[in-house]
Structure 1
Amino acid sequence: IIYHLGHHPEVVQRLRQEFDEVLGKDVTKPITHNDIDKLQYCDAVIKEVYRHFPIKYSLGRVNVEKDTIGGLRWPEKTSFSILYCAIMKRKDYWTDPEKFDPDRFYKIDESNKYLLEKQHVKNAFSVFGGGIRICPGRKLAMIELKCLLALIYRKYDIEMADPNAPLKYNSDLITVCKELLIKVKPRKF
């Protein structure tokens, strides 16, 4: 998340504006459950980061009965690999899929800018899986991420040590950042 925010200061500015409006300027004030629900732009930022950089690049599934998928017939017990990294960049599901824009998840029903997202976001955005096997900790994960971002970005200015450096990561079972060099300073109010 910090990598993407480090390359999009306009997003950090809007994020901080939301934090200041919802949480106030007192950085010692505890964050309540009601506050978390109001952090809608923060929610959109997290989702957009994971659309660009899913924690898990693929997920395996096995069909329980024969089926036709993509015009092809598949026998039962066929193993499939769902490539999240490909789904999250499909031009028929996402408007300008290579562009980093949290607005595609922010108040989506109030805008006509992201018509593809309105139609497909429930099926195309599956960073926590879906159906009966959806991650049971997804809501807790989002709460923790919102709190973490609020705690960090309300108090500190963060910038990339080298804005041109590529993100170094490993992607085995899950995707993990190997190295991210940043500069951290107390935020100026």
Structure 2
Amino acid sequence: MSENRKYNYPKRLSILRFFLDAEGIRRNPIPFHKRYFDEFGDSFSIKIGKSRNIILSRDNDIAQYILQKHHKNYHKSKFQSVYLSKYLGKGLLTVDGEFWLKQRRLIQPAFHKQKMNQLVENMREIIIYELEDLAEDKQVDLFPIMSELAFNVVAKSLFQFSISDQKLNRIKFIIEEVQNFLIKEIRLPHKAWWFSISGQVKKHLALAEENNKIIKQIIEERSSSENEVNDLLNMLLETRYEDSGEGMTINQLIDEIKILFIAGHETTANALTFTLFLLGNNPAVQQQVFDEVTKIQSETEDVVEQLQKMVYTNAVLNESMRLYPPAWITDRQNVEDDTLGQFNIKKGTLIGVSFYELHRNPKYWNNPDEFNPERFLGDQKKHSMQYFYPFGAGPRMCIGAGFAIYEMCLTISHIVKNYSIISVKNTVDFNPLITLKPVDVKVVFSNRND
């Protein structure tokens, strides 16, 4: 597109209104996004200064175009490539272009279904152990329990026997500290000078470096060990680049492991919390999960076979992630000028796709705010999957999706088989941070065997 050709954008939200709403948006952008979509349509734009353009969309065609059909022209934004990489390094989540493709091709085989099947028994044992002391017949805050479980499943699937509880707890502490500070940096850019001169940036960079050292020590101990261990670290150590036949450097391996911790921990904890909350408010659905799990477990003791038969449980999970997608928004910037639907957009336009709003867009979903697992069963499933992005889409779709589904199905089936769940409230609060984080979700577990 020539420089002279006129650019055009979706209906504009005035910059004055945006700044008037800014404090509310900082606290929780979702109600504001909904208001703007209802007023302007499925896409709207903001112009900042003379040349900075931002588009926010809940349009499925736009999502498909930037994530799949024309993904090579749409790279991750500076938020992901600069802010995140400062603390997380240059792993799959934060890099683009040829280097990303090289890493993706290298790591993908470690997450092949057959490889995941090898981890299932270990995963199941960790989940049973984590849920052993579940408090019964009293209100419990669900997210901390699911967060602890999800973190330990990722950590022990990565490292199996190679890590002490002390190191594990330190990694968890550092990840949470750094992530909380990162959110402050992103949401309060005008305070960047204060974060710098007050030493907060330096402190959190030092924590990130400490995390690197802990992971490096684990890798070096494993590399020098002759014990055969069937975990993700072993699979990653065995991977080889196609062109050179060499494995990853230790520093690159550290960066990829940090990404797996972040991506595989909080998103899963969020999804499990929302799913159990929904089951606690829908006893008929909970009963159907119980009936399915009981039937499957009477038919086979093979855990992989059990997982493959959990059709209804999977539908419940999908419907939960439709209503409350853990990765609730994504963004891209176009490398070159482009035509996006009916809009001619300038290179460098920041495009956000709200999966939260797309998943509730009445254009694609009947009664979009209603919890209905039937959407993901039988003939309805084919329709629903066209507009469903729990793990993103296209070549950059989450590499650990299969791992996460296994973990969540095992957790839900174990809990529902052994406990009935009652949610204390019928509405749920959440905080849209980097992920959609549930807040103050209380449930009561009652032992089914009593």
Give TM class, smaller chain.
Answer: 0.7 to 0.9
Contact 2:359 2:388 in 1 (8 A): yes
Per the alignment, residue 55 of structure 1 pairs with: 326
Per the alignment, residue 125 of structure 1 pairs with: 388
d(CA) in 2 for partners of 1:130, 1:50: 14
d(CA) in 1 for partners of 2:422, 2:403: 27
**What TM-score results when the alignment is normalised by the length of structure 1?**
0.85
Contact 2:325 2:436 in 1 (8 A): yes
Query: Which amino acid is the alignment partner of residue 292 of structure 2?
Result: E
Query: Which amino acid is the alignment partner of residue 163 of structure 1?
Result: K
Q: Do structure 1's residue 23 and structure 2's residue 297 form an aligned pair? A: yes
Query: Which amino acid is the alignment partner of residue 389 of structure 2?
Result: S
**What TM-score results when the alignment is normalised by the length of structure 2?**
0.37
Determine which of 89, 95, 108 is the counterpart of 2:366. Answer: 95
In the TM superposition, residue 188 of structure 1 has moved relative to its aligned partner by: 4.5
The 1:36–1:82 alpha-carbon spacing in structure 2 relative to 1, beyond 3 Å, is same
Consecutive aligned runs of 4 or more in structure 1 exceeding 6 Å deviation: none
In the TM superposition, residue 122 of structure 1 has moved relative to its aligned partner by: 3.6
Query: Which amino acid is the alignment partner of residue 281 of structure 2?
Result: H
- Residues 44-103 of structure 1 show CA distances to partners (whole Å, capped at 9, x for unaligned) of 100100111111221011223322224111122321000011100112211221221001
d(CA) in 2 for partners of 1:23, 1:67: 53
Query: Which amino acid is the alignment partner of residue 187 of structure 1?
Result: R
Unaligned runs of at least 5 residues, structure 1: none
Contact 2:322 2:390 in 1 (8 A): yes
Per the alignment, residue 281 of structure 2 pairs with: 7
Per the alignment, residue 414 of structure 2 pairs with: 151
Q: Do structure 1's residue 76 and structure 2's residue 347 form an aligned pair? A: yes
Per the alignment, residue 141 of structure 1 pairs with: 404
Q: Which entry has the higher C-alpha Rg, 1 or 2?
A: 2
Contact 2:425 2:442 in 1 (8 A): no
Query: Which amino acid is the alignment partner of residue 338 of structure 2?
Result: D
Identity over aligned pairs, percent: 26
Determine which of 425, 430, 438 is the counterpart of 1:177. Answer: 438
The structure that is helix-richer by fraction is 2
* Secondary structure, aligned partner of 2:356: helix
Count of matched residue pairs: 176
* Secondary structure, aligned partner of 1:86: helix
d(CA) in 2 for partners of 1:130, 1:96: 24
The structure that is strand-richer by fraction is 1
d(CA) in 1 for partners of 2:366, 2:382: 10
Contact 2:307 2:409 in 1 (8 A): yes
* Secondary structure, aligned partner of 2:331: strand
Query: Which amino acid is the alignment partner of residue 97 of structure 1?
Result: P
The 1:183–1:139 alpha-carbon spacing in structure 2 relative to 1, beyond 3 Å, is same
